[in-house]
Amino acid sequence: MQNTMELLNKALAMEPSAKAWCDKLGLSRNTIAVGKSRGRLSPAIAGGIAMELGENPEHWIAIAALEAEPESTLLQRLKKSQAHWRKL
């Protein structure tokens, strides 16, 4: 998995109800829908889902943080230098 939408899809494959995930994480009912429409999850939500799935939350928080940044030369350099751990 390389992005937070893949993490969300894994979560929804285990428990298809987005409402159930929102309840489990203590989120408002439309939070996951907003993430889906944006094409990314917030770092906190990604970390929460990762914990529930037994994944490394710090890894997913970092990926979500990179996804949230606006495009820039620095962001491209960060993505390139971190390409090896994003594939884990």
Residue type at 61 in one-letter notation: I
Give the separation between CA 41 and CA 65, rounded to whole angstroms.
Answer: 9
pLDDT in tens, 65-81: 989 888 788 777 777 77
The tally of CA atoms less than 13 A away on the side-chain side of residue 41 is 26
Q: What is the pTM of this model?
A: 0.82
- pLDDT given for residue 83 in this prediction: 66
- pLDDT given for residue 84 in this prediction: 65
Q: Dump the DSSP string for 32-70.
A: HHHHHHHTS--HHHHHHHHHHHTS-HHHHHHHHHHHHSP
- pLDDT given for residue 10 in this prediction: 97
The CA distances from residue 23 to 29, 56, 58, 86, in Å, are: 8, 21, 22, 28
pLDDT in tens, 22-69: 999 999 989 999 999 999 999 999 999 999 999 999 999 999 998 988
Predicted confidence (pLDDT) at residue 85 exceeds the cutoff of 70 = no
